[in-house]
Chain A
Amino acid sequence: MIDKTVRSMAEAMEGIKDGATVLVGGFGAVGQPNALIDGLIEQGAKDLVIAANNAGVGHVGLARLMELGRVRKIICSFPRSSDPVVFETLYRAGKIELEIVPQGTLAERMHAAGAGIPLFFTATGVGTKMALGKEVRDIDGRQYVGEKSLPGDVALVEAWEADRWGNLTYRESGRNFNPVMAMAAKLTIVQAQHLRDLGAIDPDHVHTPGIFVNRVLHVPYGDPTGF
């Protein structure tokens, strides 16, 4: 019997190594796997590369992980937030690397990684700083920048529903980066608000098929708060 559900946070986090590239879902607080981020803080892996849209708020979650000196590099589109003090302090002090990526390129780099596409071309960033050091190619009269895929060792994903095969649904704008991150990582760990019996999620309504998912932890935390 396939059963991807795990009973404890320790089991969910098992095997995440120092130096891992960790993809973290969410757009602001919505769809952000806060329990799993806390689990990663507890687990202890360091020298991490984090890919996420934002770079943390206040002193909790991703900001806390950075404040503990566990993040070597962050790959994101928008490191600012309502309270980006931890990231900005580390960045000014030269204690964290930043790779800034246009938001659509960030999503597509992970989507491509999940689809086995190592390099793709996009018009986004042509003629800007983002194209520096990258291949620019003329295709049918328009210029495009070559962007490499962004595979993860680990993805931390927040879902609304999950079953023991790892089929997932997301809620409203909580979907955001979660599906492409689930596709892009070797080890996809999900926190789900609701565990459903196998077959209870309408197959037509599955957003992420279970093939992309390795572990599911039931975390019924309620509504997202704060940004």
Chain B
Amino acid sequence: MSATATTAAKPYTRTEMAARVARDIPEGWYVNLGIGIPTAVADHVPMEREVVFHSENGVLGMGPAPAKDAIDPWLINAGKQYVTLRAGGSFCHHADSFAMIRGGHLDLCVLGAFQVAESGDIANWATSENDTAPAVGGAMDLAAGAKRLWVMMEHTTKDGTPKLVRRCSYPLTAVGAVKRVYTNLAVLDVTPRGFEVIDLAPGMDFDTVQARTEAKLFLTRQ
């Protein structure tokens, strides 16, 4: 990871980010994918690698979207999109579904975020300039309850404002919860000393990523 010119740097596309996250999910994990960009991660986990996807409206063992002529109107996910159920899948009521989340039974939750702090704080449900009614859904339950919380998001906002920060300025979803962040530029672990860069997008270098990050970054110890 040298500080060379970045003309050849190629940030991950959304699809590549999803594939990069999927690569790190082993067989046997129970996983909840948040509404928005994390949903695409499921498309990159091959069916023969048995990962069990949970949707908080009481679906365990969720499969991909149905063909247009095979929609089951009784089977939706948390984003209220039509989905399918894999063999071995099951339904439960909301309190049981959130017992899976809050009781620490999910191996992983992947959420989108507005900001992640170097302490692992996450802000993903409201922005201070948001004038519509706040809507939290299941984000706080997932962030506090899953065994691991990974965040998948663009490294900066559209205008270049860093989203990896020292301290979140937006209302918090959970304190000290994030373990890893996947962005279009890098993969970073949240450690006691702060963000450690563990992987970079093709051609990306550490200094370029640091320049687009408010928090101080560390290279992972080899």
Residues of A within 8 A of B (CB): 27-28, 30, 55, 77-80, 84, 87-88, 91-92, 98, 100-105, 107-108, 110-111, 122-130, 170-180, 207, 223-225, 227
Contact check, B144 vs A124: say whether CB atoms are below 8 A apart: yes
Contact check, B136 vs A78: say whether CB atoms are below 8 A apart: yes
- B71's closest neighbor in chain A, by CB? A223
Contact string, B115-147, partner A, CB cutoff 8 A, digits 1/0?
A: 000000100000000011111111111001100
Contact check, A30 vs B73: say whether CB atoms are below 8 A apart: yes
Q: Cβ of B44 < 8 Å from any Cβ of A? A: no
A180 to B98, CA, bound (A): 12
Report A113 CB to chain B, min CB distance, Å: 11
Decide yes or no: A77 and B75 within 8 Å by CB, A103-B98, A173-B57 being known contacts. no
Decide yes or no: A91 and B133 within 8 Å by CB, A122-B102, A175-B91 being known contacts. yes
Contact check, B93 vs A98: say whether CB atoms are below 8 A apart: no
Contacts between chains A and B (CB distance < 8 A), count:
142
A176 to B172, CA, bound (A): 27
**Hey, which chain B residues are within 8 Å of A55, CB to CB?**
133
A161 to B171, CA, bound (A): 43
In the assembled complex, 16 residue pairs joining A and B whose CB atoms fall closer than 8 Å, in A order, are A27-B58, A78-B137, A80-B133, A80-B135, A98-B133, A100-B136, A102-B136, A102-B137, A102-B141, A108-B98, A172-B72, A173-B59, A173-B91, A174-B74, A175-B93, A223-B74
Q: Cβ of B5 < 8 Å from any Cβ of A? A: no
Decide yes or no: A129 and B174 within 8 Å by CB, A107-B98, A124-B141, A223-B74 being known contacts. no
Contact check, A30 vs B144: say whether CB atoms are below 8 A apart: no
Q: Cβ of B92 < 8 Å from any Cβ of A? A: yes
A91 to B58, CA, bound (A): 29
Residues of B within 8 A of A (CB): 55-59, 72-76, 80, 85, 91-95, 97-98, 101-102, 121, 131-141, 144-145, 171-175
Contact check, A79 vs B133: say whether CB atoms are below 8 A apart: yes
**Hey, which chain B residues are within 8 Å of A175, CB to CB?**
58, 91-94
Contact check, A103 vs B136: say whether CB atoms are below 8 A apart: yes
A13 to B144, CA, bound (A): 39
**Hey, which chain A residues are within 8 Å of B136, CB to CB?**
77-78, 100-103, 130
CB < 8 Å: which of A124, A176, A177 contacts B145?
Answer: A124
Contact check, B75 vs A176: say whether CB atoms are below 8 A apart: no
Contact check, A104 vs B58: say whether CB atoms are below 8 A apart: no
- A225's closest neighbor in chain B, by CB? B73
Decide yes or no: A180 and B94 within 8 Å by CB, A28-B76, A126-B144 being known contacts. yes
Contact check, A176 vs B93: say whether CB atoms are below 8 A apart: yes
CB < 8 Å: which of A30, A102, A127 contacts B138?
Answer: A102
**Hey, which chain B residues are within 8 Å of A84, CB to CB?**
133
Report A7 CB to chain B, min CB distance, Å: 27
**Hey, which chain B residues are within 8 Å of A176, CB to CB?**
57-58, 93-94
Q: Which of B144, B171, B175 has the most CB of A within 10 A?
A: B144
Contact check, B141 vs A172: say whether CB atoms are below 8 A apart: no
Contact check, A127 vs B172: say whether CB atoms are below 8 A apart: yes
A31 to B202, CA, bound (A): 46
A12 to B75, CA, bound (A): 28
Report B108 CB to chain A, min CB distance, Å: 17
- B121's closest neighbor in chain A, by CB? A127
**Hey, which chain A residues are within 8 Å of B172, CB to CB?**
127-129
Contact check, A111 vs B145: say whether CB atoms are below 8 A apart: no
Contact check, B59 vs A180: say whether CB atoms are below 8 A apart: no
Decide yes or no: A88 and B137 within 8 Å by CB, A104-B145, A124-B144 being known contacts. no
Contact check, A77 vs B133: say whether CB atoms are below 8 A apart: no
Contact check, A124 vs B140: say whether CB atoms are below 8 A apart: yes
Report A90 CB to chain B, min CB distance, Å: 10
- A102's closest neighbor in chain B, by CB? B140
Contact check, A79 vs B94: say whether CB atoms are below 8 A apart: no
